[in-house]
A and B are shown apart, each in its own frame.
Chain A
Amino acid sequence: MRCEYVKQKLDRYIQGDLPDPVNKKIEWHVNNCQDCSDALYWLRKLEGIFKDAPIPSVPEGFTERLMQHAGRRQDSQKLPEPTVIRLWGWLGRTDLKKAAVAAAVIIGLSLGLLMGLQTSRRSYKTQVVASSALVDAYHFDYLTEAPENSISGVYMRMVSSRNNFEDNQ
């Protein structure tokens, strides 16, 4: 066993923190190496100094101050529950939760169906934008005189035509 390795492990050897086989090898080495024996002596002395050190005591009232602080922190973290959550809790206590869930699902589905119907009806109506209305609104007078295959002419046909949906019907 090399001195460098032994010196590295000496502190743990003093603590009894090494496996037995390693302990025994270190013990044999230290008994046969003056340098490592000196190092062990120094480490034991150092440990002894710290063991004798005075112990700082907890200041008076530490626990009381801490518990007050903890209580204030707990209180500041408690926020009033939103109404929905309080209502949900009440429903749970009165066994109406299942009925409330079922009612919510039925209402939601019904609303969804109604809205879907309205949307599909509206999509069948065409919105024809009178070219004259556009022209008047945006002062596009000059566009009415544009040649048919010009960009202006194409643009006028686009804004004046019906929805593509209806065109595809």
Chain B
Amino acid sequence: MSLTDEQLMIAAGKGDMAAFEQIVIRYQQFAWRIAYRHTGNSSDAEEIAQEAFLKILDSAGSYRSSAKFSTYLHKVLANLCIDHVRKKKPQINNDFFGGKEFTEMPYTDLQIQERDKAVKSAVDSLPARQRLAVILRYYENLPYSQIADAMNTSVKAVERLLARARKLLESSLSVFFEK
């Protein structure tokens, strides 16, 4: 029977690196997706995703199993993404179909390609907190309460953030929404 995330964290806190590796394997995809979508480039995304796991390892000794691990990871990632933007301007990755970075083959439908490029560009140009809220809501489909936890804010504040983000996205992407 496999251990829960919380059990693995407690083991990692006692120095069990194999337990920590299990945590990494379980959540690396999630961490990578968030980091990559927020930064727009691989090297920054790897830096953020790795730093998130290392921070978790550093504090594993004081982890309490009453706290859900995924919520904890969301918070660490969210803080690192926002801090990253504060430290440096995000580089918009124009190499949208940089082959190795996506699991799917390049599209044959040019219209879909263009649409996805436009969506990515529109999201990349959002302010950091709005961008993070959009990533957590629309790419990861997290409920508002989890987004609020991750961003250390209230559900109402998340509603406002996403409403503002959607206004900006609407102006960039209106051509794709004609009935």
A15/B143 contact (C-beta < 8 A), A53-B116, A59-B100, A70-B54 known: yes
Interface of A is mostly: helix
Assembly CA distance A15 to B162 (angstroms)? 14
Assembly CA distance A49 to B101 (angstroms)? 19
A-B contact count (CB 8 A): 106
Interface stretch (choices A61-69, A129-137, A148-156): A61-69
Flag if B50 contacts A69 (CB, 8 Å): yes
Is the interface on chain A under 10, 10 to 19, 20 to 34, or 35 or more residues? 20 to 34
Interface stretch (choices B2-10, B16-24, B69-77, B79-87): B16-24
Residues in chain B within 8 A of chain A (CB atoms): 15, 17, 20-21, 24-25, 28-29, 32-33, 36-37, 42, 45-46, 49-50, 53-54, 57-58, 100-104, 112, 115-116, 119-120, 137-139, 141, 143-145, 159, 162-163, 166, 169-170, 173, 176-177, 179
Proximity string of chain A (118-137) to chain B, C-beta cutoff 8 Å, 1 when within and 0 when not: 00000000000000000000
Closest Cβ–Cβ distance, residue A52 to chain B (whole Å): 7
Flag if B24 contacts A49 (CB, 8 Å): no
- Given contacts A59-B100, A62-B32, A67-B20, 8 further A-B pairs with CB under 8 A are A9-B159, A50-B138, A50-B139, A54-B103, A55-B103, A56-B103, A62-B50, A73-B58
Residues in chain A within 8 A of chain B (CB atoms): 8-9, 11-12, 15, 17, 41-43, 45-47, 49-50, 52-59, 62-63, 65-67, 69-71, 73-74
